[in-house]
Amino acid sequence: MIALRPAHLLLLLLPLPLAGALAVDTSYYPKRPGMRWTYSSGETQVVGAPVVHRGVSVTPVSHQFGQTVFTQDLLEHRADGSVWLRGVNTGGRLTWYTPPLNIYPRGRCARGRPGQA
């Protein structure tokens, strides 16, 4: 029988939190319909229900002051954790980005990994 010292137990348990810490945190970037937040400028952003546009599932995020919507971002949330800006609707006119603009790179939103600018 092998006697383990407390230091050995620590080494055995150490990899467990790290594995969870590097998992993609899909809740980091808000995408649940109905979520809203307001900035100190007074701008409120509201997440809408996902829709399919041009064959791509996108989540609309409205930018508004009071009850007036000024623009709406169409965001694609990919399985790898990345977030892409596919288009912007301004005054009923859609600008579709080809290629899309990457907002959060793959793995960027992993738990325990601070964001970098």
- 116 domain residue, yes or no: no
d(CA 92, CA 62): 12
Q: Give the 3-state secondary structure of residue 11.
A: helix
Q: What is the pLDDT of residue 32?
A: 87
Mean pLDDT of the residues in the chain = 77
Domain that holds residue 16: 6-104
Q: How many domains does the chain have?
A: 1
- 75 domain residue, yes or no: yes
Q: What is the pLDDT of residue 100?
A: 97
Q: What is the pLDDT of residue 81?
A: 86
Q: What is the pLDDT of residue 71?
A: 97
Q: What is the pLDDT of residue 6?
A: 41
- 114 domain residue, yes or no: no
- 52 domain residue, yes or no: yes
Judge if pTM exceeds 0.85.
Answer: no
Q: What is the pLDDT of residue 104?
A: 87
d(CA 57, CA 117): 27
Identity of residue 50: P
Report the half-sphere exposure of 93 (CA within 13 A, side-chain side).
2
* 27 or 47, which is more confident: 47
- 1 domain residue, yes or no: no
In this predicted model, what pLDDT tens digit does every residue of 44-82 receive, in sequence order? 999 999 999 999 999 999 999 999 999 999 999 999 989
- 88 domain residue, yes or no: yes
- 113 domain residue, yes or no: no
Q: What is the pLDDT of residue 59?
A: 95
- 115 domain residue, yes or no: no
